[in-house]
């Protein structure tokens, strides 16, 4: 029996109809929102800062977007936002937990206040978001959640609050993936390494040192991180859940020996 004829080209990629992105007033969150809007998603942008300028940019370009004020550490605020999404769109198909902060403080310089604040925003915020969003995603037939972690959630990073929050986010993603699978909700964590954004401004020595350890020889471009977010939200990753996606130019897998070999070149 001959095999069934297959189309010459794959079906078009399907992206979620309605997506909520946190930390979306600027930076990578805004880039994720713009990219989703260009692909037809109605994007709900949420932040403690004003998302209106990015929303205007999206709608002026013909996209659909809505702004929300959201403190991710506030459980009631999360429910206010998801209730608004339900009222305006009737569904939610994707969530990007992008909001986060970093404090580059070494272990003994990290105060209890810094520790609590970083974990509250980076980890508890994502937990509250998943808990508030999952019932609406279930009622929508399922969906995809992308938690923006970091390679600091895979290695022993020098800043304990940031590293602990990102390791926690890795574990949270895996726990949620198992619990929410019966609701057809996928949960994955994305682990960027060094990314060329404004957050690196004023850290030239840190960036130069880190770049020397990257086998690819450069930081990631923001669009490369957005491409991974789009993939994890799309139907192209339909069988992925509980996974860690690392985008770091080989830093975690080979960075140590890459740097050792560079430093020892000519001595081997």
Give mean pLDDT, residues 114-131. 94
Q: Which CATH class is domain 18-198+221-249?
A: alpha beta
**CA distance from start to end of the chain:** 59
Strands (E) in the chain, as ranges, are 18-22, 42-47, 64-69, 94-97, 143-148, 185-192, 244-247
Token duo for residue 92: 């939610």
Confidence at residue 4, expressed as pLDDT on a 0 to 100 scale: 60
Alpha helix stretches (DSSP H) within 9-124: 27-38, 52-60, 75-89, 112-119
Q: How far is CA 92 from CA 69, 155, 207, 242, in A?
A: 18, 33, 38, 20
Instruction: Please answer whether residues 232 and 199 qualify as being in contact, where contact means their C-beta atoms are separated by less than 8 angstroms.
Output: no
Whole-model pTM: value is: 0.90
Q: How far is CA 17 from CA 12, 92, 140, 155, 181, in A?
A: 14, 8, 10, 35, 20
Instruction: Please answer whether residues 115 and 165 qualify as being in contact, where contact means their C-beta atoms are separated by less than 8 angstroms.
Output: no
CA distance 121 to 38: 29
- Over residues 130-187, the pLDDT tens digits come to 999 999 999 999 999 999 999 988 988 778 888 999 999 999 999 999 999 999 999 9
Percentage of the chain beyond pLDDT 90 is: 67
In DSSP terms, which residues pair with 18 in a beta bridge?
A: 42
Domain ranges of the chain: 18-198+221-249
From edge to edge, which strands make up the β-sheet containing 244-247?
64-69, 42-47, 18-22, 94-97, 143-148, 185-192, 244-247
Confidence at residue 264, expressed as pLDDT on a 0 to 100 scale: 56
Percentage of the chain beyond pLDDT 70 is: 89
Give the chain's mean pLDDT: 90
Confidence at residue 3, expressed as pLDDT on a 0 to 100 scale: 59
Confidence at residue 76, expressed as pLDDT on a 0 to 100 scale: 98
Catalytic positions: 162
Asked whether the predicted pLDDT for residue 211 surpasses 60, the reply is: yes
Instruction: Please answer whether residues 228 and 190 qualify as being in contact, where contact means their C-beta atoms are separated by less than 8 angstroms.
Output: yes
Q: 75, 55, 66: which is closest to 19 by C-alpha?
A: 66
Asked whether the predicted pLDDT for residue 6 surpasses 90, the reply is: no
CA distance 237 to 230: 10
- Over residues 216-261, the pLDDT tens digits come to 888 899 999 999 999 999 999 999 999 999 998 999 888 776 666 6
H-run or E-run covering 183: none
Q: How confident is the model at residue 110 (pLDDT cuts 50, 70, 90)?
A: confident
CA distance 36 to 29: 11
Higher pLDDT, 66 or 1: 66
């Amino acid at each position: 029996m001959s095999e069934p004829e297959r189309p010459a080209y794959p079906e078009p990629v399907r992206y979620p109809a309605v997506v909520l992105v946190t930390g979306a007033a600027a930076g990578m969150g805004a880039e994720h929102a713009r990219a989703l809007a260009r692909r037809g998603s109605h994007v709900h942008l949420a932040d403690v800062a004003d998302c209106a300028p990015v929303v205007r940019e999206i709608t002026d370009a013909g996209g659909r977007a809505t702004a929300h004020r959201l403190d991710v550490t506030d459980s009631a605020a999360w429910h206010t936002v998801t209730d608004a999404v339900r009222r305006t769109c009737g569904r939610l198909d994707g969530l990007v937990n992008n909001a986060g902060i970093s404090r580059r403080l070494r272990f003994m310089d990290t105060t209890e206040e810094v520790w609590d604040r970083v974990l509250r925003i980076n980890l508890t915020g994502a937990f509250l978001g998943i808990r508030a969003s999952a019932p609406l995603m279930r009622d929508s037939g399922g969906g995809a959640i992308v938690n923006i972690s970091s390679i600091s959630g895979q290695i022993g990073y020098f800043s304990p609050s940031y590293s602990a929050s990102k390791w926690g986010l890795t574990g949270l993603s895996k726990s949620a993936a198992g619990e929410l699978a019966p609701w057809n909700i996928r949960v994955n964590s994305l682990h960027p390494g060094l990314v060329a954004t404004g957050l690196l401004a004023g850290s030239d020595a840190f960036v130069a040192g880190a770049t020397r350890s990257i086998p690819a020889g450069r930081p990631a471009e923001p669009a490369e991180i957005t491409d991974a977010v789009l993939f994890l939200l799309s139907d192209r990753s339909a069988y992925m859940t509980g996974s860690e996606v690392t985008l770091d130019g080989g830093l975690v897998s080979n960075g140590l020996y890459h740097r050792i070999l560079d430093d020892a070149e000519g001595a081997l």
